[in-house]
Amino acid sequence: MGLGLSACSASPGVPAPAPPGESREPVEPPAPDEQVAACAAQTSKLQAGLDKAHGNDTDAVMVVKDPSCGMRVLTSGPSKLDASHLHRIGSVTKTYVAAVILTLASEGALGLEDPVAKFVSGVTGGDEITVRQLLTHTSGLFNYTNDEQFLQVARKKTFTPRELVDLALANPPSFAPGEGWEYSNTNYILLGMIAEAAGKAKIGALVRARVFAKVGLAATFFDGEEPVGGELAIGRDGWGRDVTRFADPSWAWAAGAMVASPADTATWIEALGAGTFHDPATQAQMLVPTTTDDKNLGYGLGVMLFGRAITGGAGPGIGHGGDLPGYHTQAFYFPEKKTTLVAIVDSDAESPNDVSVAALEVLFR
């Protein structure tokens, strides 16, 4: 989950304060021509880092946005991708679904302390498991994607959300509600079902109305519930085989079915991390960390919270990762630097973490 950048410089690059009694002339901002040249040089270094961060036979994308140079979408690999290509972003989907839940909560359509049983019947422990525990992965519910039966039929079946939940419930819980932390896709399948019950619409329609339309995401789609309006980049397994259509998108549903352009992904994760999407009270709740099994990683309400020790000088990070067959994504916003970073590799043979490291080394070394 983590970036693992502790070896990189953590220097913020801010001039040291003047000693007492002394003054310092203010640093003049660079002239426009100098700024253009500096951004061009930085972009060239980012492209070189991206080209080195993955194999010659795989495709990768890097998006960087900062106050000085704006948004840059860089691509690399044999498919000659452009910025308009769409990618499966896997569990980054959870950030959109959580946002729907939080907007419904802010309107009083549901409460974060409501039990699952209020909306979905027949869930083991449903009277004790709360909406908040689903959001933070503290429900204890088994992860259905680890179920042996699911693994045998995943490529051949169209699932209903209830079938995915029942696969999970066929396995004992990992712990009592609230007594531990364990990442489980089952939590977000249930959140999709709860959103539909409280919002009185399909989850794809709720995400479109409450997130896509509000933020202006024209190239993001809930695959399986609406047409995907664009060209999907090819995802490949570790042997280079095309797994773009590995399985029906219903197998990931509210836990990971989203398809998006890299720029849309960056726009969303910035809105979420910078606090321009939620009201201040909801934003504050979202960023309260739940302790995970990684001391450098907390989990808020649908977001991963990265500690500064592993972000290579970027400061704390807010975002999420996403992994599906053939597609691997990291999307972060670093509020101290007002910088957004999205890294995507379209191959199981590669890691987006290498792309993220390459970007952060250029930006903050």
pLDDT of the residue at 33: 84
**What is the distance between the alpha carbons of residues 265 and 88, in angstroms, rounded to a whole number?**
11
Q: How many helices and strands (H and E) does the chain possess? A: 12, 11
What's the domain range around 336?
A: 57-364
Whether 6 maps to a domain, the answer reads: no
**What is the distance between the alpha carbons of residues 77 and 75, in angstroms, rounded to a whole number?**
7
Whether 283 maps to a domain, the answer reads: yes
Whether 299 maps to a domain, the answer reads: yes
Q: Write down how long the chain is.
A: 365
Model confidence band, residue 16 (pLDDT cutoffs 50, 70, 90): very low
Phi first, then psi, for residue 72 (nearest 5°) are: -125, 130
Provide the CATH number for the domain around residue 98. Answer: 3.40.710.10
Contact 255, 135 (CB under 8 A): no
| 150-159, 192-201, 307-316, range with greatest mean pLDDT | 192-201
User: Structure tokens of 53?
Assistant: 């961060």
Residue 5 has pLDDT above 50, yes or no: no
pLDDT of the residue at 280: 97
DSSP character at residue 109: S
Q: What average pLDDT does range 287-297 have in this prediction?
A: 91
Q: What average pLDDT does range 314-330 have in this prediction?
A: 97
**What is the distance between the alpha carbons of residues 325 and 244, in angstroms, rounded to a whole number?**
8
**What is the distance between the alpha carbons of residues 186 and 182, in angstroms, rounded to a whole number?**
11
C-alpha closest to that of 60 among 252, 332, 255, 342: 342
Q: Beta partners for 259? A: 88, 221
Q: What average pLDDT does range 325-349 have in this prediction?
A: 98
pLDDT of the residue at 30: 59
Contact 361, 343 (CB under 8 A): no
* SS3 at position 256: helix
Contact 83, 263 (CB under 8 A): yes
Whether 213 maps to a domain, the answer reads: yes
For residue 174, the one-letter residue type is S
pLDDT of the residue at 137: 98
pTM of the model: 0.91
**What is the distance between the alpha carbons of residues 78 and 63, in angstroms, rounded to a whole number?**
18
Phi first, then psi, for residue 232 (nearest 5°) are: -85, 125
Whether 27 maps to a domain, the answer reads: no
Model confidence band, residue 365 (pLDDT cutoffs 50, 70, 90): confident
Please give the torsion angle defined by the CA atoms of residues 326, 265, 143 and 97, in that order, rounded to the nearest 10 degrees. -140
**What is the distance between the alpha carbons of residues 33 and 109, in angstroms, rounded to a whole number?**
52
**What is the distance between the alpha carbons of residues 229 and 231, in angstroms, rounded to a whole number?**
7
pLDDT of the residue at 67: 94
Whether 51 maps to a domain, the answer reads: no
**What is the distance between the alpha carbons of residues 275 and 3, in angstroms, rounded to a whole number?**
23
Model confidence band, residue 8 (pLDDT cutoffs 50, 70, 90): very low
Whether 313 maps to a domain, the answer reads: yes
**What is the distance between the alpha carbons of residues 11 and 285, in angstroms, rounded to a whole number?**
29
Query: Helices marked H in the chain — which ranges?
Result: 32-52, 93-106, 131-136, 148-153, 161-169, 185-199, 203-207, 213-215, 253-256, 262-274, 280-286, 352-364
Whether 241 maps to a domain, the answer reads: yes
The pLDDT tens digits of the residues spanning 33-91 come to 889 999 999 999 999 999 999 999 999 999 999 999 999 999 999 999 999 999 999 99
Residue 265 has pLDDT above 60, yes or no: yes
Please tell me the total count of domains within the chain: 1
